[in-house]
Structure formats: structure tokens, C-alpha cells
A and B are shown apart, each in its own frame.
Chain A
Amino acid sequence: MRNIIIFFFILVSIRCGSDLLNVKAVTVPELYNNIKENNVSSLVLLNIWSTSCIPCIEEFPYIVKLKKRYDINKLDVVFLSTDWDENEEAAENFLLSQKVKGQHYRKLEGNTQEFIDDICPSWSGALPFTGIFNQELNLLSFWQGKRDEKFFISKIDSLLGAKG
């Protein structure tokens, strides 16, 4: 009986853990290592945003919806905020307001040039930035600036189709 209670408790803890939001400040290598450690999806969509960026906020809700649209084996959605330290709380509150759960990230302040080039050397630095990676975290497709929901779905579907 005792073992069953412990097992049930562990099960509930794991379930609650995945329902919690956790935001970690990272460098790009740390971001990639963290994603690789936990990834089970064929594709990983990384959206880089900021609470200060209106187009980021506008496109945010339909990126959140993508997580529900696709099976976790096919697509994972990861958010990386570029908010400065002073806006850390605002960024987390925004994620909570959008009902975002699980592990997400915030850019460690400083070294912006290195950060941009490590993500994608062709990225100008304009926000929002979205990249779609394969399981090995090779960048397959990216775009900068706001896009509509159809664009996201079409890109993901075409990459999933290409993977067979």
C-alpha cells in the first residue's frame, strides 16, 4: 500500500512538473544542450521574442496553439525571451498569461552579437525570430519578423512532409 502511495505521489509530481512554467536564463550553447537533453520531437520550433516587441506579442498566441496542434513526437515549441534582467518578471507573467507551460528560456544579458551569430549568422537581430530545427538541432528554416498562423503551419507541414 505504501509503495502504491509513493508511486502515485511521484506520478502526480511528474504531471504537475510538466504543467509548471520554468524560465531559465541561458547562453546559446546552454540553450541547445538543454533542448537536446529533453527533446523527443522530430522538429523544434524556437521563437525568440520580447515583451517590448509588439509584433512578437501579436504572433505569440498562435505559436502557443501550435503546441496543441502537433503531437509532441512531431513538434516541440520553445520560447526564448530577450528581455533584459529588469523585465524578467514581466516576461514570466506574460508567458503565464498565455498559459505557456514547461521549460522555456531567457537570453542571458550581454554578448548580443555572439548570441545572434550562434543562433543564425544570417539573422539581422530583428525580432521576432523563428527557427525550425531538426532533432540534431540543425537549423532547417528561419524567418525574422511577424508571420501569420497559416505561414507557420505551412512551414511546419512542409518540413514534416519532407521528413516523411
Chain B
Amino acid sequence: MIRILTLGIIALTTLMSEEISIGSKMPGSDYILKNINGKESELSTYKKENGLLVIFSCNTCPWVIRWQGRYNPISELCSKNNIGFVAVNSNASQHDGVDSFDSMKEHAKKYEYIFPYVLDSGSRLAKTFGAMVTPHVYLFDKNGDLRYRGAIDDGPKRVKHNYLVDAINSVSKGKSVRTKTTKSLGCSIKY
């Protein structure tokens, strides 16, 4: 009986844990994503010489709002280190509502985004990454290999570990990332 239950748990876990692993090549690099500036481009176009940071985000999630203030400084840090930065809205079931293209434009204006914010139609990119939560980041290096996956930091108020900033600094210098994966609470991506 216990064995059957264990197998059930493993089967469920397998179905749910298809998130890309550290060292994987960036998937979906040819997916076309529509930026709030109206331009449609492949994901790979956002990559710069030292890599690409992909952050799954949205307009309304309280955890996104709580971490929102970190986005622009991280984007600037990426830019300084020649790493691309793109925020992706994959809440497909809400793309006709609170996460519509127009709402994304308003949201980006309100929070003075200085980076591309793109719509992932049908949650195709999120599904390919195995992304399930917002906010959640994936940092790829110059070769397009995943080097860090997870939370921005361990905030929200008292930050002890700046996981993402540390990872960006390591990747830009070609060094090994100390903490490669982390988790945080957040909103489920609405496929």
C-alpha cells in the first residue's frame, strides 16, 4: 500500500517537476514574444554577450509587487555586466483581463520599467521552462547555459542573501555560482 502511494507521489512529482535544470541550454530561444513597445522578437534577441536573465512576472501578484522595486536596479546591474534582461508575463488565462497587453503597458509605465516586458502567448515559454511561480528568475550565461534559477533574494524586508545579484556578478566574471537554485513563495503562473 505504502509502495503504491509512494509511486503515486513520484508520478505526480515527475509530472510537476519538469523545470529546466542547472546546465541546461536555454529552451524556447526562437519563441516569438511581443514586447510592450509593440515589437515582436525571438527570446534569443534579448541575450547579450555575457548572458540573459529571464524573469517570470505579472501585473498583480502581491509577491511581484513586493519585489517590484528590485527590478530596475537588477536590470541596470545586468546592463552594466553585459547581460540581457527580459520580464515575461505568462499568465495566459488572464491575458484577456488583468494581465492583458494594455494592462502590461500600464503596469510598466506605473513602475517605470527600463527593460523589455513581453507577453508569452499561451504560456508557451513558461511551460517550456517548467516555470510555475511569479516572481521567478532564470539566469543563463554567455553560452546560453542555465547557471541560476529561483528567487531574487530571501527578502522581502530583511535581505540576508542576495542570490540573484551574487549570481549575476559570478556569471559576468565567468565564475561558478555559489547558490545555484532557490525557492520562494509566490503566485502560481496562470496557464
Contacts and interface: CB of A to CB of B under 8 A. Distances in A.
Given A127-B186, A141-B12, 17 more contacts: A50-B62, A52-B62, A53-B62, A84-B156, A110-B158, A116-B185, A117-B183, A122-B12, A122-B13, A124-B132, A126-B187, A126-B188, A127-B187, A140-B5, A140-B9, A144-B132, A144-B188
A126 B12 contact: no
A148 B13 CA distance: 20
Nearest to B60: A54
A52 B63 CA distance: 8
A136 B63 CA distance: 33
Contacts of B183: 112-113, 116-117, 123-125
B5 A125 contact: no
Contacts of A125: 133, 183-186
Chain A's interface: helix, strand, loop or mixed, by majority?
mixed
Given A122-B17, A126-B133, A144-B132, A112 B5 contact: no
Contact of B182 (A52, A113, A140): A113
Contacts of B189: 126
B1 A124 contact: no
B76 interface: no
15 contacts: A50-B62, A53-B62, A53-B187, A82-B185, A110-B154, A112-B151, A112-B183, A123-B183, A125-B184, A125-B185, A126-B132, A139-B9, A141-B12, A144-B132, A162-B1
Interface string A92-108: 00000000000000000
A32 B22 CA distance: 32
A142 interface: yes
Contact of A112 (B132, B154, B188): B154
A126 B150 CA distance: 12
